[in-house]
Amino acid sequence: MSRHRPAARMSIDRPFALRLAAPGDAAALEDLIALSTRVLQAPYYSREQIEGALGSVFAVDRQLIADGTYFVAQSGTTLAGCGGWSRRKTLFGGDAGRDAADDTLLDPSRDAARIRAFFVHPECARRGIGAAILDACERAAAKTGFTELELVATLAGVPLYARGGFRATESFDITLANGLPMPVVRMRKSIAQTAVATAGG
């Protein structure tokens, strides 16, 4: 596994802008994911768990970018955060080695859209970036007819999603590439009211 390239320092006081991720962002996203994971997940998981998750559980999913459902928060020329939603079955993980059966399309009339792959630059943590991306994802999913959202949260991410109205439905372990377990929490939220508000303009 390649080591993370040193990240440029950035000012956390600069405003950020949300935009859809482009294929050319993939390398910068990999760097952001590795940095965010190694710093912000450290209080919750061991170094061995973190390294076992990078490249598989914590990795770029290019299908989200291709689908136009993955957002980046940009501050100047630096990516301050990223996250997205999906109309596909996959709940977490990068695109390396994925079974095509896991990427089947969901039915908005009966399935929950997925909230996927949220990462924030450590210098921009607790600046509202995660909440802003989550709001953009909810609105986009509602526009396509989804009224439920589902996600798998790391222990570090649970507070963000709980503040956003998600409720925990299950705790379980993901078995990592190195064989270690990583505790995570499945969470769910109804966005029926959001869907109605969005449809009404």
Q: What is the pLDDT of residue 166?
A: 98
Name the phi and psi angles at 188, rounded to 5.
-145, 155
Q: Is the pLDDT of residue 60 over 80?
A: yes
- CA pair distance 100, 81, nearest whole angstrom: 27
Domains of the chain, start order: 17-94+101-199 (3.40.630.30)
Q: For residue 172, is pLDDT > 50? A: yes
pLDDT at position 14: 55
Q: Which phi and psi (to 5°) does residue 16 adopt?
A: -120, 155
pLDDT band at residue 102 under the 50/70/90 scheme: confident
Q: Lowest-pLDDT range, 12-21, 83-92, 122-131?
A: 12-21
pLDDT tens digit sequence for 77-93: 889 999 999 999 999 99
pLDDT tens digits, 131-153: 999 999 999 999 999 999 999 99
For residue 97, what pLDDT is reported?
67
Strand partners, 54: 58
Overall average pLDDT of the 26-32 stretch: 97
- Averaged pLDDT score across all residues of the chain: 89
pLDDT higher than 60, residue 6: no
User: Which tokens go with 194?
Assistant: 């959001």
Mean pLDDT (whole number) for 117-125:
95
Beta strand ranges found along the chain (DSSP E): 17-20, 70-75, 78-86, 113-120, 148-154, 167-175, 181-190
pLDDT at 101 over 80: no
Percent above pLDDT 90 for the chain: 81
Q: Give me the pLDDT at residue 1, please.
A: 39
Helices (H), ranges, the chain: 26-40, 47-53, 62-67, 129-143, 158-163, 192-199
The C-alpha torsion from 88 through 132 and 52 to 32, rounded to 10°, is 110
Residue predicted with more confidence, 200 or 185: 185
For helices 192-199 and 129-143, give the axis angle rounded to 10 degrees.
70
Structure tokens at 39: 């710093």
Who's near 178: CB < 8 A, 6+ residues apart?
48, 51, 52
